[in-house]
Every structure is written in C-alpha cells, then in structure tokens.
Structure 1
Amino acid sequence: MKRVTILGSTGSIGTQALDVISSHPDQFTVVGLSANSSVSQLEEQCRIFTPQYACMMDETAAKELRTALADTDIQVLAGMDGLCTLAALEQNDILLNSVVGMVGLQPTLTAIAAGTTIALANKETLVAGGKLVTDLAKKMGVDILPVDSEHSAIFQCLQDKHSARRLKKVVLTASGGPFFGYSRDMLAQVTVKDALKHPNWDMGAKITIDSATLMNKGLELIEASWLFDKTPDEIDIVVHRESIIHSLVQFDDNSMLAQLGVPDMRIPIQYALTYPDRWPSPVKELSLADCGSLTFARPDIETFTCLGICIEAARRGGLAPCTVSGANEEAVALFLQGKIGFLQIGELARAAMHTLPQKDVYSLEDVLAQDQEARAFVRAAVGA
C-alpha cells in the first residue's frame, strides 16, 4: 500500500488523482487531503477515502469542515501551517502537490525536507523557487516526479539512463489554446468566456487562461529547465493542436523519442503515483488510425507575448521567473474578474519584470517577498 497525501484534492488534478486511486483501491491509502474553500466537496472526499487529516486554506471553511466531520476521527487543519503539516507527515510515501499558484512552494520544500517523494503538478514551485527546490531535493535524495503531461512525457522518454546522458534538447508541445491563429487585434476583443474554452483539456480557470495566453507554456519551459537541467536555448516549443504527442526529447545523434496518448491527465498522474511501475489505467487506448494526422507549427511569440516574456525571464534567471509568475497570477485573477483585458496580462507581467529590482541569489523569504511585490505592482498599475 502506497500512502498518499494530495494537496488540492478538489481541483482538476486532485479529483483525477482520486479517480486513479479508486481504480486501484488495494494499492493506495490516502493519508491527507486539502482544499482551498470547497467544504462540501472535501467533506465528500473525506467520507469516501477516510484520510487521517484534512486541511482547508480558508480558516472559516476549516471551521465548517470540522463541524461537518465531527462524527469522524479526521483531524482538520487550516491555512499554510496546515498545508505544511500535511506535507511533513511521516506517514507519507508520496505527496501530490496539485494546488494552483505560489501557495504550493512552501509545502513542497517542507515535504522534501521530510524526505518525501514529490509528485509535482504545481508549476509555480519550480518557476519561482527552482534553485531552492532542486538544491534541497539533491541534498535530501528526494525524487521530484513531474505530473504535467509535458514534463511527464519527457521524464518517461528519459528512463533509459544511458540515453539520458546524451540528451541534447527538450521539445515541449503546446495545443495553442483556443486562440491559435489569432492576431493581436483579435486577441484584444476576446472575453473571459472565450478564453475558458480550451480545445483539448479540462483544467481549472487559472491554468486555462494561462494556456490561452501561452503563459502556461512559458512557465513549463522554466519548469523544464530545472527538472531536466537544460538552458532555455536547449528547450524548443512546437504547437501540436491534437495534443496526442505530449512532448519529445532529442539526443546527441539527433534521434528523437516522444510519448503519445489521449489527452487525459490520469495517465501522467498515475505514472507519478506508481513510478517506476506501470499499471492498468482507466484511460482509453490511443488509436493512431482514428487520429488520422498530426500537425505541428511554430508558436507565434510576437502575437502571444507571454511566451517570449517567460523565455526572457528564464534567461535572466534569479527572481525574474518569480516576478513574472506572481504578476501573471494577479493579472489573470483581474482578467477573470473583468477588470483588465486579455492583452494586459502579458503587458503587466513584462512591466513587472522590467521594473522591479531583481536578485540573482535568493532565499525562500526573497521569493515570497518578490511574489507579493509583483502582485502589488500589478494591482497598482491598474488601480485595483
């Protein structure tokens, strides 16, 4: 029995992870679950999977959950302290971090310090604090198993350790989002409703907007640079509308390997939870004949500026990626509230990176402070 704690269990990744666990009930024990504010959903999950611990980020929601679960032995925690307590539990064999945003960094570091394997679905952990996380993981001998479909694909292609030593380049695939082929003028007119219509994946609102701006792909580039020890110039991005090839690797002899599958996150989630084994999956088989054809195109960095901003941040290093991530997170929230336009997301992220002081060497406190500075910059820039 593998003992699992899931941070962000009511979100898209968390619910699909629980679906995977339900498909293998004799192989997993759920130790802890957490959510932001979805009391009724987390209560239902707790009653089904009977974890020892549950955590709500929102203090008021935590009080409600304690009342709702008063007839059980489940201990309900709250806030960042609660998340870090879940992350540090000695019962954990693996921690699936699927929270959205910077809130995921501290629990990741806490779990690594406790020697727990990380199944990582929280981009901001490596984008904002990549050096802190990877240095600590090396020191503690902890595995970071990627859950994002692209990074999982790369990871799977590198299981031949002899070939992995000859890795020349990483190629991330991108669906292109709902606005592939749009001009800047067209993007200026898109609405929140338009941006939330992803062609292939069912994701949370923030990640879906990031996919529409191509910010998501830029953040993945930064994440890949830390996971696979590659510079930004050793990572390519190609638009692949069908989302069948999830990413590729190129070796010194210029041969390439790719991982293919239907666009279903349960594949990379399950691989992270069962690594290094592969088990039967609830996901349907891929039929190449039914796919018909697969297409590829270069991303339009001039139109979708968020991708270029992330590449620049990756080359700058230090706190630049953290600045872009924090500014983007705040800008996306404002866009979802109807307070700014679609194109302003990238404009604000770029302005924050070019305006705020940066550091090449940083601590956790520096990262958290820079994230808050970037958010405050965005709010001040639009008078929010």
Structure 2
Amino acid sequence: MTLKKIMLMGATGSVGTQALDVIAAHPDLFELVGFAYGDNIAKAREIIEKFSPKIVVSASDANQVELAQAFPEIESLSGSDGLIELVSVSDYDILLNAIVGSVGLLPTLEAIKLGHDIALANKETLVVAGDTIIAEAARTGSKILPVDSEHAAIFQVLQGVKRKDVRSLTITASGGSFRDKKREELVDVTLESALAHPNWSMGAKITLDSATMVNKGLEVIEAHHLFDMPYDDIHVVMHRESVVHSMITLNDGAVLAQLGASDMREPIQYALAYPRHITMQNEKDFDLTELASLHFEKMDLVRFPMLDLAYRVGKLGGGYPAVYNAANEVANRAFRDGKISFLAIEQLITRAVFGHMEFDGQSLQQILATDAKTRKKVATWIDTLSSEKANS
C-alpha cells in the first residue's frame, strides 16, 4: 500500500482526534498534509508540531494570524474561503471531512469536483445536498467512503454483494442518553445528563443529537443517498449494546451484519486504508463470549418523533432535509447555551419543517438559501423563547 496523503477537516473534534491517532499509528501508510480546525488553537499547535502539515485553516482570523507568526513555514488560512483553498490543493489523495454541521458541505463538493476521494464523517453534507454530491462523485469518479459507524458497517458488508440482491438496510441505534426515559420525564433534563452517552465518546453536538434521535434521522437520510435505498427499505432498531453496528437483508432472507467494539477508529481506519483492513494499533478488546446477551427493540416513533420526522422530510426531498438539519443545528446550539429546554429542540425543528413551502426542482443554491433562511427564523424564535423564559 502506497503512502496516502490526507487532508483533514475538523482535526480537533472527536472524530478528527481519533483520525490523528490512526495516522500516527501508521506513518508508513498515511501522511497528514493539511488540516482545518475550529477554536482549539492549543490543540492545533500540537498537531502542527507532531505532523508538520503544509497547510492549516483556522476558523477565526485571529487564530490564523497567531499560527502564521508561530509557524511561518506553513501556509495559514482562515474561514470558509480557507476551507475551499484547503481542499483545492492538488497534493493529497483523500479528504476526511470530520467537521460537524453543514459548513462541511461546500468544501467537500469542491474536493469531489477535483476528483478527490472523500472519507465522510459529516452526515450533513449528504442530508442537505445528497443528490448533488452523489451525482458529482459519479461524474468525477470520486469515492465516498462512509466513516459513521453505521454506514461504515453497511459499506463493509456490501463488499462483494450485488445491489440488486439487497432487500433492505437496518441501522442500529443505542437510543442515546435518555433511551429509558418517558416523554414526560424529559421536561427538565439537563445538558449534563444529555451529554452522558451510555456507549460512545463523541462531541457535544452529536451526543445531544443522539439524545433527541435527530442523529439517527440524519443517518437514515444519509443511508438513502449513500446506498441508493428507498426510505421504506431503511429500518432502524434499538440496540443498546452498540455491538452490531448495522445490517443488510438480502432477497433470500439472509442477514449480514458487522460487529465490533465501540471504537470509531475502526471505521476511520477502514475508510483511509480502503479497500484493505490493516492492523489496528491498541485495539479494543472484543470477545463475544463475554457478552451475556444482545438486545434489539423496535423503535417507538411516538417516543422519538424526530426520527419519524426525518423519514418524512427525506421522502419529501428538495429543501426539506436542509430545513430539518438547519433548525436542529440552531436549536441544538441554543440548548447547549442554556437558552431553551430540551423538548424545545423538537418543537423548533417541527415548526420549521411544517412551515416550509417550496416548489419542485430546487437547485443547490436555492437549498442553501433555504438553509440560511431557516437558521434566521429559528434564531428569532429562540430569542422569543428566551425572553419569555426570563420574564416568567
């Protein structure tokens, strides 16, 4: 296997940090040539000192200036324009998009236009613009290699399987931090309790999305685009142990599943090393004989209405998935900032989706305009809720 040159967006987040572990563990196979990060400049400095990349993009101009002064030998950029420049560099093999949120969409699309392969941990890219992304990848020959554990599992078991032989996909869900709570018990839940995921170590935004089940809804829409599967043939089951990461059912009834430890490095490493399964350094122990039992339950769409709503917006298509995602990103942030209650996240997303109207044949630019409009509307609603809360 020749040395793969990797461009990484979201380097200081949960997936990005674990990707760096994978790269560091295999210096003979992977090289980090550039990265983008958010606000953690201390971590960015550590990455630069350890990996010696050629180009770095900071979210803020101030951090960009600081890094430029500290590391004059490295090209230092900032902002959304910097992300586009990052992916436009010709000297890399694969872009790992580990940015959280739809900000990862346009640079990913640009990388695809240039023919680069994509290791995709940013589900919002396909949720907002799946039709455009898949069509452009087909045109340029770019491979889209899923990094989410569920989609990576499906991708792995599909190897050597003909698409026409697949009846359905089944995505597993841990249920998140509130899986055992009834809806009436969610009224006063705290951020701390929402971020206490029982199985996975993830960033705050995704962990909260798991608690609302928005994350699983986004994964359903992503699976539809990745695997060209009708929504009615994409199923979600509750699986508390997170041992079976996902499954496919073939036309003859055979079920193929991918199992393993709850370790995001495995799907990250497979995407980077594809099509090889290379040795995992410091592999987590996984022994089926030590598991007392595995549990699978039907999803209660009344208890988890955001999953039900995701199926609806996915089937509607056009700008509806973008509205769902944009409203969630703003509401999720507002709950983490203490501005709204946990259940208000669902209420704001639902209000945005049912208030959206559009015509057929939406272009990408129109969808992006819808995204921006939705964010402004939801932010206004949140300000009203915050004012009412302060005056009550």
Give the structure-2-normalised TM-score. 0.95
CA shift, 1:367, in A, is 2.4
Runs of 4+ displaced beyond 6 Å: none
Structure 2 residue aligned with 1:20: 22
Q: Deviations over 1:297-332 (max 9, x none)?
A: 112211221111111111111110000000000000
CA shift for structure 1 position 359: 4.1
**Structure 1 partner of 2:390:** none
Matching of residue 241 in structure 1 with residue 243 in structure 2: no
Which ranges of structure 1 fall in alignment gaps of 5 or more residues?
Answer: none
Q: CA deviation at 1:78?
A: 0.8
**Alignment of structure 1 residues 181-260 onto 2, 5 Å:** 181-260=180-259
CA shift digits 1:172-217 (9 cap, x unpaired): 0000011112111101121111100000111111000000011000
RMSD: 1.1
**2:118 equivalent to 1:123:** no
Corresponding residue pairs, total: 381
The reply on whether 1:324 has 2:324 as its aligned counterpart is: yes
Tell me the secondary structure at the aligned position of residue 350 of structure 2: helix
Q: How many angstroms apart in 2 are the aligned matches of 1:112 and 1:165? A: 26
8 A Cα contact 1:33 1:46, kept in partner: no
SS in 2 for 1:127: helix
CA shift in 2, pair 1:340/1:92, >3 Å? same
**Superposition pairs of residues 65-80 of structure 1, within 5 angstroms:** 65-70=67-72, 73-80=73-80
For 1:9 and 1:193, how far apart are their aligned partners in 2? 24
Deviations 1:53-85 (A, max 9, x none): 000122222112212223xx1111111111111
Deviation at 1:358, TM superposition (A): 2.6
C-alpha separation between the residues in 2 aligned to 1:132 and 1:362? Answer: 11
Pick from 31, 34, 37: which aligns with 1:35? 37
Name the CA distance, whole Å, in 2 between partners of 1:68 and 1:191. 40
The equivalences for 1:307-322 within 5 A come to 307-322=307-322
Q: CA deviation at 1:35?
A: 0.4
Correspondence for 2:362: 362
Q: Which residue of 2 aligns with 1:342?
A: 342
Deviations 1:313-366 (A, max 9, x none): 111111100000000000000000111111111111111111122343233322
Q: Verify the 8 A CA contact 1:179 1:212 in the aligned structure 2.
A: yes
For the residue of structure 1 that corresponds to 2:361, the secondary structure is coil
Structure 1 CA distance for aligned equivalents of residues 254 and 359 of structure 2:
38
Residue 203 of structure 1: SS of its match in structure 2? coil
Q: 2:95 is aligned with what amino acid?
A: L
The counterpart of 2:56, out of the listed 50, 54, 57, is 54
SS at match of 1:286: coil
**1:335 is aligned with what amino acid?**
F
1:231-282 alpha-carbon deviations (Å, 9 max, x no partner): 1111000000000000000111111100000000000000000000110002
Work out the CA distance in 2 between the residues paired with 1:194 and 1:248. 30
* Structure 2 SS opposite 1:201: coil
Normalised TM-score (structure 1):
0.97
Counterpart amino acid of residue 277 in structure 2: R
